[in-house]
Amino acid sequence: MKKAYHDLKTGLRESFTAQCRHFMSTLSQISSAMILLSAWSAAAQAQDSDPMVFYDQDGLKVRGHLQFGVNAVAENNLFWDLAATTAPGSGFDPDTEWLEGYVKPGLSFEKTLDTGAVFYGKLSAVASYTWGTDAFDTGDTGATTLEEAYLAIRGDLSTDLTYDLSLGPRELTLGTGMLIANGATSGFERGALKFGPRKAWEMAAIGRLSFGNVTGTAFYLDPNELPSTDGNNELAGLDLRFDDPAGGYLGATYVDVLNSDSPYPQAAPGGIGAPTVTPGAREGTRTLGLYGKTNPFADGLENWTFTGEVAYQWNDRIDLEAWAGRVTAGYTFANLTWSPNLNLGYQTFSGDDPNTTKLERFDPLYYQGSPSAWATGSKSASTFINSNVNALTLALRVQPTRQDTWTLRYAHIRANELNSPVQFGQATRVDVNGNVVTGVTDAHLADDLFLEYSRIINRNTFLTAGVSVSFPGAAIDNVVGGSADPWTGGFINVVFNF
């Protein structure tokens, strides 16, 4: 909650009517561009060619890339209107609507060398903007930043042994995205909070060596953080993964934080008082994660899929010892219309026990925070990071056609430790008795429902819409001092990817 109602801007917002005119003007321009690009793409498809290939001769291929999108968002009773209780003088408006957009142009090349190796690279940038005021009270702002700018080489060392080396800003996701996935930050002064179009690390050195179905990856990463909150983080580590041709996988990831100014909060003794915040505490934190997914089963279990992940984290310098994990079970009703898929999961991330001197609060590092990946809830994921929380999740997906997908997600979210840091602002406040308290006094945080619709318009055009509601639990009610109202919202976006 720290970002939601701390350092709120002063002054008056532009009138809603003026914003609507601006929104509609922008939508009109983007729609015109979409129509032209759709026609161009359709013509190229009719000729069975790629319109983005600029050159393809003599072992050299040069291709252009273009991705852009526009997203309209509305939110009501943001963060269950906790600001009215915890920061009544902030002026934070819990009801807002905004429009956000981005464009990501790029250019890549591949050159086959005489040795058979392939020299390749990519250069891209992101320009994003938010019109109106977003969920974190930031708006009418945006930025243009470098995205990818790497050079790489890949080739064969023997029949079964291959290598792939790269240097420069690029994307990298390891395992299931539990620890290493989102290398850049969007939103705030960069705009496009919900879209989050930036994914590439500001600097990445990546080396891969593959032997058959086993791949080892060594990496050094510097995340592309917001200038206003840059923690000077640097990471390095290893990932080892086996991919079974039948569909399953098994892997392990080790991450070492080489440098960081990012702080860690620790619960006050007995949970009474404000947490202790230690600057630079992340430096030296090490994490070992194991992940796996079953192959398709036979003999009555052919429609079942099981996954599991577990992570152990430690830092001897600050006496940190934490853990996290997830298990899921999925079943596809292959013989039913629309092929329904039901997935049940449970994920948990340790919190700091206020009754010990050790720090047990899990640091989720750079996880993939989408609802289909590692988000804890749909709306609640904008409030709680993957630390001191657990969630029982249920997702039902149906496909009426090959182009249309409906997904209903539910999450029951709870805190692992009471009176302990649990969210961005650590929930530190003064209670009715005048005591400084942290975290929550009841484990039940919220219940989230999210209905999402996705439409593949063509191979380059994608439409996504969703509505969601978060019902506050007793933990939130206790902070408010009564029955808090639900937090609701919706969005609709279109993305083009060439």
CATH code, 94: 2.40.160.100
Specify the number of domains making up the chain.
1
Rounded to 5 degrees, what angle do the CA atoms 366, 367, 373 make?
A: 165
Residue pair 122/170 in contact (Cβ under 8 Å)? The answer is yes
Domain of residue 418 covers 2-497
CA dist 59 and 57 (Å) reads 6
Burial 341-352 (b: 16+ CB within 10 A, else e): bebebebbbbbb
What is the four-CA torsion angle of 294, 295, 296, 300, rounded to 10 degrees?
Answer: -60
Specify the pLDDT at position 89.
Answer: 80
Residue pair 204/221 in contact (Cβ under 8 Å)? The answer is yes
Specify the pLDDT at position 326.
Answer: 98
Amino acid identity, residue 68?
F
* 256 contact partners, CB below 8 Å, separation of at least 6: 235, 236, 237, 285, 286
The HSE-up count of residue 211 (CA atoms within 13 Å, CB side) is: 2
Using DSSP, state whether 376 is helix, strand or coil: coil
CA dist 200 and 182 (Å) reads 7
Tokens 């790029």 found at: 106
Amino acid identity, residue 171?
E
Q: Give the C-alpha distances (Å, rounded to integers) separating 9 from 3, 234, 307, 487.
A: 12, 31, 44, 23
The pTM is what?
Answer: 0.87
Q: Give the C-alpha distances (Å, rounded to integers) separating 457 from 36, 47, 139, 201.
A: 15, 19, 30, 31
Specify the pLDDT at position 272.
Answer: 86
Q: From first to last of its 498 residues, what are the pLDDT tens digits of the chain?
A: 333 333 333 332 333 334 334 434 444 444 444 444 445 444 444 445 789 999 999 999 999 999 999 999 999 999 999 888 877 888 899 999 999 999 999 999 999 999 999 999 999 999 999 999 999 999 999 999 999 999 999 999 998 999 999 999 999 999 999 999 999 999 999 999 999 999 999 999 999 999 999 999 999 999 999 999 999 999 999 999 999 998 899 999 999 999 999 999 999 999 888 899 999 999 999 999 999 999 877 777 889 999 999 999 999 999 999 999 999 999 999 889 999 999 999 999 999 999 999 999 999 999 999 999 999 999 999 999 999 999 999 999 999 999 999 999 999 999 999 999 988 666 666 655 556 668 899 999 999 999 999 999 999 999 999 999 999 999 999 988 889 999 999 999 999 999
The 8-class DSSP code of residue 246 comes to T
Radius of gyration (C-alpha) of the chain in whole angstroms: 24
CA dist 473 and 412 (Å) reads 9
Tokens 């983007």 found at: 30
Among candidate residues 384, 386, 439, 444, the one with its CA nearest the CA of residue 413: 444
The 8-class DSSP code of residue 219 comes to E
